[in-house]
Amino acid sequence: MASGLHKSDVANPVLNWIDARLPVITMMQKEYGTFPTPRNFNYFWNFGALAMVNLLIMIATGIFLSMHYTAHTSMAFDSVERIMRDVNYGWLLRYAHANGASMFFIVVYTHIWRGLYYGSYKAPRELLWMLGVVIFLLMMATAFMGYVLPWGQMSFWGATVITNLFSALPLIGPDIVTFLWGGFSVDNPTLNRFFSLHYLMPFVIFGVVFLHVAALHITGSNNPLGIDPKGPQDTLPFHPYYTAKDSVGLVAYFAVFAILVFFFPNALGHPDNYIPANPLVTPPHIVPEWYFLPFYAILRAVPDKLGGVIMMFASIAILFVLPWLDTSPVRSMRFRPLARPFLFTWLVSFFVLLYCGGKPPEEPYVTISRVAAAYYFLYFLVILPLLGRLERPLPLPESIARPVLRGGGPVMAGAMSKPMEKA
Amino acid sequence: MADSMAQAAPQDGGTRRDFLQLVTASFAAVGVGAMAWPFISSMNPARDVLALSTTEVDLTPIAAGSAVTVMWRGKPVFVRNRTPEEIKEARAVPLSELRDPQTDQARVKKDNWLVLVGVCTHLGCVPLGQKPTDPRGDYGGWFCPCHGSHYDTAGRIRKGPAPLNLAVPDYAFNGDAKITVG
Amino acid sequence: MRVFHSLRAFSLAAGLVAGAGLATVATPARAAEGAMHYPEVRFSFDGLFGHFDRASAQRGFQVYKEVCSNCHSMHLLSYRNLSELGLSDAEVRAIAATVQVQDGPNDEGQMFERPARPSDRFRSPFANEKAARAANNGALPPDLSVITKAREGGAEYIHALLMGYEDPPAGVTLMPGMNYNKYFAGHQIAMAQPLSSEGQVEYTDGTKPTVEQMVEDVSQFLTWAAEPELEQRKSLGVKMVLFLTVLGGLAYAVKRKVWADVH
């Protein structure tokens, strides 16, 4: 296999010529055309594709916005407002980019929830899951730096507070913070490097997404039953079945996105960010963007500076070891009657943290977030490991095809036996 | 998404599905196309750029035989107060000798005031000839140092690689001593 | 089976919207600052089909020009923007020409004043922040370009604030130079009641310049100034949602057809 051309089945002679030398068409056909996909996905399995589309939207709107943006403390705020007022459709690009970030987190949180509920992180998909957590971390860094760019009050004070987290590190903390700032406060050097990195990161994310998908196509997708496909009767070719199903989800996603952008463009933002940054005045109540609130609440729930920072990072880092914390051999929560309520309680704790993170640091919110944060960790560190031993899961179905067929409808000879449709 | 839908058109039977998919794919394609427009449009000049597209020039300080250069749309505009000799020279040239035939009268609104976009029609350099010390080329007008184009006292191309005369921008006189360019 | 599936799809979509909604509620501690409730005002630009009342916004500009602009800048706006309010080019030119703006340096290297052109930004009342503070007892009158986006409550807040001046209740002592306003955070505001008497501004279109009318007009004007794209945005949004509804129906029909032989 050292030399020679790939044997392509593409009919079109020009495409065949290309495919024989660079088999991209064969590859796409294999990975997105005939790719055998469990036949029982529900709509939760749309969210991976949605996240991909969302990333592309963010990159596209971001590139066009950067053509008009000025990364300088004296001009950044006005240049963003110029985009909103003078650039043709600039308001649309900016609102799509700002709300696109929120949509991205809604989509990715749902995607992560899907993984948690159906046990998608378990063997053999541990690395696939960990790459996903890497993407999540990169997204958070990108979103944080992007929020600084308009150089409003929340941009400035958000940047100040979050970079100051690193000052909690013993010995080197203050030096690290000075290094991050490129000065003695959040200032022009900080804005410039954040812009540079904010532009770079999406492409790094794109690279990790590629690995994420590559790993997915080795192990194959998990499914709502959490059992492995046993043969062709359990799968469907990705196209047209899941391209069609993803398209439905995509339109629904665009509808939510459009309602935000066109009718409530500032609902998820903070009014203070329309006040230009002022290093001398801190707004009375500063909060990060909504998607950081659960973690912000954990930070504030801990009365110790370093402890809070550690717990906040740990709340995400813990996802890396989740595949080994969950000792149950059963993936899907459908068959784990005992674990299911605990997981739903965890979801409640996540939303409670999200809610408390946006409240001022006073009672009763402090106590509530402490309880919620404690449960957040308890679920991963104690409940899940124990449940694997104590729980008696429900009997698993024999195969994916069986429960699907039991629901009625004509027995079909299997989609694989139909003539494959062209991609 | 348009792609995935377009791909979905099957080659085998099922005409109803075919038709439905075709309609859906065209709909999606229209949507994607419509959403592409704001992106493309955003690269066109913004409203504030368009708003700045007029420049006023006060002509009183420009003595006969001298010229000033003003900025208009980020480009130099040459305003020259020509001497009678220069005007005579420009009008004496037969049109047949010109690469881009145009009479001098057609290029000015008042005989002595010549207003030109100071950008060589070859590849966009700024020709020399505005300052008294500049070389003004073989025809006494402007000379482009980049690739050696010579323009005459009406700003017409006479020699060198440039294909066209120096452009005359839209301008209007506000009274005798002021013009508005653009 | 099918019903069950659509139900699940529906509940999923509902969950997504609810999630977004919850995020909205939880965001920026709205409730924390929003302890203040502003009287409800119905503006023409509210709602899905909202649009600006141009006559009102023009009057609002007059209020800004004659009253607010003595202290408040609007440095993101240009005179040319006023043509979006329905003023003709000649009118915009005339308005601009009444204002002197600084330009330069000229050929002698001096800055000089000249009448403004439509492309000039609104002239700011003070040269810089320090000058503004010095002239206002140390308080900085905020720039009003995006004020309705920069305050919780938007136009409603502006309306409430301008109508909210009253005598301090018994037991409240005002700091020197401060005024009592029931809708201002902390209730002590440096700005004296700017619109206080009927006829403070003389409208040319016959509208009676009551305080309430002037306040409404200036709220209208400030909203337009902060969100000049509002009308285009909403009308495009309506079309977008209609389009997506049809496309969603089509995509769902295709999905049903494709999956018909599987279920």
pLDDT higher than 50, residue A406: no
Q: For residue C115, what is the enclosing H or E element?
A: strand C112-115
Q: The domain spanning residue C218 has which CATH number?
A: 1.10.760.10
Token representation of residue C89: 């080019």
Rounded CA gap, C51 and C86, in Å? 13
Contact criterion met (CB < 8 Å) for A421 and B12: yes
**Co-location of C165 and C204 in the same domain:** yes
- Residue A165's nearest CA partner among A304, A29, A51 is A304
Residue where the block lists tokens 């020197």: C176
Q: Which residues of C touch A257 (CB under 8 A)?
A: none
Q: Which residues of A have a CB under 8 Å from any CB of B?
A: 53, 60-61, 64, 67-68, 82, 85-90, 92-93, 239-240, 243-244, 246-247, 250, 419, 421-423
- Judgement on whether residues C11 and C42 belong to the same structural domain of the protein: no
Cβ count within 10 A of residue A317 = 12
Tally the domains of chain B. 2
Q: CA-CA distance, C188 to C183, in Å (whole number)?
A: 9
How large is the C-alpha radius of gyration of chain B? 26
Residues A103 and A220 in one domain: yes
Q: Give the DSSP letter string of B115-147.
A: EEE-S-TTTSPPPB-SSTTS--TTTEEEEETTT
Q: Do C247 and B31 touch (CB under 8 A)?
A: yes
Looking at the structure, do residues C23 and C55 belong to the same domain, yes or no?
Answer: no
Say what the pLDDT of residue A377 is. Answer: 97
- Across the interface, which of B17, B27, B52 has its CB nearest the CB of C257? B17
Residue C36 counted as an annotated binding residue? no
Whole-number Å distance between alpha carbons of C173 and C188: 10
Average pLDDT over residues A24-46: 94
Whether A222 and A189 map to the same domain: the answer is yes
pLDDT at B3: 43
Residues A142 and A265 in one domain: yes
Residue type, B20: L
| Contact present, A275 and C150 (Cβ < 8 Å) | yes
Say how far apart CA C179 and CA C188 lie, in whole Å.
5
- CA A207-A211-A215 angle, to 5 degrees, is 170
Percentage with pLDDT > 70 across chain B: 90
Is residue C156 located within the same domain as residue C216?
A: yes
Q: Does some domain include residue C83? A: no
pLDDT on residue C6: 47
**Do A263 and A316 fall within a single domain?**
no
C63 contacts C218 by C-beta, under 8 angstroms: yes
Q: Considering the domain boundaries, does residue B10 fall inside one?
A: no
Angle at B107 between CA B105 and CA B112, to 5 degrees: 70
How high is the mean pLDDT of chain C? 87
C80 part of contact set with chain B, CB < 8 Å = yes
Q: Is A198 annotated as a binding residue?
A: yes
DSSP state letter for A184: S
A415: which chain C residues are within 8 Å (Cβ-Cβ)? 261-262
Residues B82 and B34 in one domain: no
Work out the number of other CB atoms within 10 angstroms of the CB of residue C108.
Answer: 7
Rounded to whole angstroms, the Cα distance separating A53 from A61 reads 12
Residues C181 and C212 grouped into a single domain: yes
Residue B43 CA to its chain's centroid (Å): 18
Q: How far apart are CA C72 and CA C158, in angstroms?
A: 14
Whether pLDDT at A113 is above 70? yes
Q: How confident is the model at residue C103 (pLDDT cuts 50, 70, 90)?
A: confident
Q: Please name the helix (run of DSSP H) or strand (run of DSSP E) that holds residue C189, with its range, or none.
A: strand C188-189
Measured between alpha carbons, how far is B142 from B129 in angstroms, rounded to an integer? 5
Return the pLDDT at B175: 84
Are both B97 and B165 inside the same structural domain?
yes
- Over 50: is that where the pLDDT of C120 sits? yes
Which residue is listed with tokens 């309010």? C85
With cut-offs at 50, 70 and 90, classify the pLDDT of residue C95: very high
Cα–Cα distances (Å) from A58 to A61, A62, A79, A202, C152, in that order, read: 5, 6, 19, 8, 27
- Same domain for A203 and A342, yes or no, is no
Q: How many CB pairs under 8 A join A and B?
A: 65
- The answer to the question of whether A111 is labelled as a binding residue is yes
Mean pLDDT computed over A330-338: 95
pLDDT digits (tens, 9 = 90+) for C26-54: 444 443 444 578 888 999 999 999 999 99
The answer to whether the bond into C168 is cis (omega within 30° of 0) is no
CA of C146: how far to CAs of A36, B79, C150, C228, in Å? 53, 42, 6, 10
Maximal C-alpha separation, chain A: 72
Residue type, B94: P
Whether A262 and A291 map to the same domain: the answer is: no
Residues A44, A145: one domain? yes
What integer pLDDT is reported at residue C106 of this predicted model?
78
List of long-range contacts for A58-62, beta carbons under 8 Å, 24+ apart: A58/A97, A58/A100, A58/A101, A58/A104, A58/A202, A59/A202, A59/A203, A59/A206, A60/B39, A61/A93, A61/A94, A61/A96, A61/A97, A61/A100, A61/B39, A62/A97, A62/A146, A62/A198, A62/A199, A62/A202
Q: Do B17 and C254 touch (CB under 8 A)?
A: yes
Per-residue pLDDT, A2: 55
Separation between Cα atoms, residue A14 and residue A56, nearest integer Å: 29
Question: Of A401-405, B63-67, C100-104, which range is least confident?
Answer: A401-405
Residue of chain C whose alpha carbon sits nearest to that of A291:
C23
- Comparing A51-55, A395-399, C14-18, the range with the smallest average pLDDT is C14-18
* Alpha-carbon B4 to chain mean position: 44
A373: domain range?
Answer: 287-394
Contact of A247 with B4, CB cutoff 8 Å: yes
For residue B1, is it within any domain? no
Q: Once rounded to an integer, what is the mean pLDDT over residues B122-131?
A: 92
Mean pLDDT throughout C227-239? Answer: 96
Measured at the CA of C216, the angle between CA C212 and CA C220, to 5 degrees, comes to 170
C131 Cβ partners below 8 Å, 6+ apart? none
pLDDT of residue C195: 94
Question: Is B149 found in the same domain as B112?
Answer: yes
Residue of C nearest to B56 (CA): C117
Closest C-alpha to A82, from B132, B146, B49, C26: B49
Q: Looking at residue B144, which CATH number applies to its domain?
A: 2.102.10.10
CA distance C175 to chain A (A): 20
Angle between helices A153-164 and A126-148 (to 10 degrees): 130
CB contact under 8 A, A60 and B39: yes
Q: Read off the pLDDT of residues A225-239 as tens digits, 9 standing for 90 and up.
A: 999 999 999 999 999
Residue A348 has pLDDT above 70, yes or no: yes
Cβ–Cβ < 8 Å for A215, A209: no
Query: Packing angle between helix A188-219 and helix A153-164, nearest 10 degrees?
Result: 70
Look at residue B5 and tell me if it is in a domain: no
Omega cis (within 30) before A364: yes
Does residue B133 contact residue B124 with C-beta atoms inside 8 Å? no
Q: Which two tokens stand for residue A285?
A: 């109540």
Q: What angle do CA C244, C250, C255 make, to 5 degrees?
A: 120
d(CA B18, CA B81): 72
- Domain count of the fold of chain A: 2
Under 8 Å between Cβ of A85 and C76 = yes
For residues B83 and B72, is the Cβ–Cβ distance under 8 A? no
Closest CA to B21 of C257, A135, A180: C257
Residue in chain A nearest C28 by alpha carbon:
A358
Q: Cβ atoms within 10 A of the Cβ of C54, count?
A: 15
User: What confidence score (pLDDT) does residue A420 get?
Assistant: 37
Domain match, B36 and B123 both: no
Predicted confidence (pLDDT) at residue A3 exceeds the cutoff of 80: no
The reported pLDDT for the residue numbered C107 is: 74
Amino acid at A162: I
- B132 and B58 share one domain: yes
**Which residues from chain A sit within 8 angstroms of residue B38, using beta carbons?**
88-89, 92-93
**What is the pLDDT confidence band of residue B14, given thresholds at 50, 70 and 90?**
low
Residues B137-151, mean pLDDT to the nearest whole number: 93
- Are residues B132 and B97 part of one domain? yes
Residue A363 catalytic? no
The yes-or-no verdict on residue B47 having pLDDT over 60 is yes
Q: How confident is the model at residue A411 (pLDDT cuts 50, 70, 90)?
A: very low
Assess whether B155 and B65 both reside in one domain: yes
Q: pLDDT at residue C11 above 70? A: no
Report, as an integer, the average pLDDT of C65-89. 95
Are A115 and C253 in contact, with CB atoms under 8 Å apart? no
Residue where the block lists tokens 């104690």:
A382
With beta carbons less than 8 A apart as the criterion, state whether A176 and A167 touch.
yes
Neighboring chains of C (3 or more beta-carbon pairs < 8 A): A, B
- Round the average pLDDT of chain A to a whole number and report it: 92
| C68 assigned ligand-binding residue | yes
Contact yes or no for A92 and B38 at CB 8 A: yes
The CA distance from C208 to the nearest CA of chain A, in Å, is 32
Mean pLDDT in residue range C110-130 = 91
User: Domain with A135 in it: what CATH number?
Assistant: 1.20.810.10
Q: Tell me what pLDDT residue A403 has.
A: 57
CA distances from A366 to A303, A306, A419 (A): 10, 18, 61
The residue with tokens 């019903």 is C3
CA distance A149 to A147: 6
C78 interfacial to chain B (CB closer than 8 Å): yes
Whether C190 is in a domain gets the answer yes
Q: Are A212 and A131 in contact (CB under 8 A)?
A: yes
Q: Is residue A278 part of a domain?
A: no
Inform me whether the C-beta atom of residue C258 falls under 8 Å from chain B C-beta atoms: yes
Q: B9 lies in a domain?
A: no
Residues C125 and C218 grouped into a single domain: yes
Secondary structure class of B55 (helix, strand, coil): strand
How many CB pairs lie under 8 A apart between chains A and C?
Answer: 158
Does one domain contain both B66 and B39?
no
Rounded to an integer, what distance in angstroms lies between the CA atom of residue C10 and that of residue A51?
20
What domain range is B130 assigned to?
Answer: 51-181
The pLDDT of residue C33: 45
Do B59 and B131 sit in the same domain of this protein?
yes
List all residues 6 or more positions away from A244 whose beta carbon is below 8 Å from its beta carbon: B8, C251, C254, C255, C258, C259
Q: What is the CA radius of gyration of chain C?
A: 25
Tokens 């920026």, residue located: C28
Catalytic residue from among B88, B110, B147, B178: B147
CATH number of residue A379's parent domain = 1.10.287.980
What pLDDT band is residue C25 in, cutting at 50, 70 and 90?
very low
Q: Pick A419 or B181 by higher pLDDT.
A: B181
Percent of all residues in chain A with a pLDDT value above 90, rounded to a whole number: 89
What mean pLDDT comes out for the span C228-246? 96
Does the pLDDT at position A405 exceed 70? Answer: no
Cis before A240 (ω within 30): yes
Band (B57; pLDDT cuts 50, 70, 90): confident
| Distance in angstroms (rounded) separating the CA atoms of residues A56 and A122 | 28
Assess whether C261 and C185 both reside in one domain.
no
Task: State whether C254 and B51 contact (CB < 8 Å).
Answer: no
Q: Which domain holds residue C224?
A: 31-77+121-228
- A300 and A246 in a single domain? The answer is no
Residue of B nearest to A29 (CA): B7
Nearest chain C Cα distance for residue A54, angstroms: 15
Q: Cα torsion at A14, A16, A18, A23 (round to 10°)? A: 160
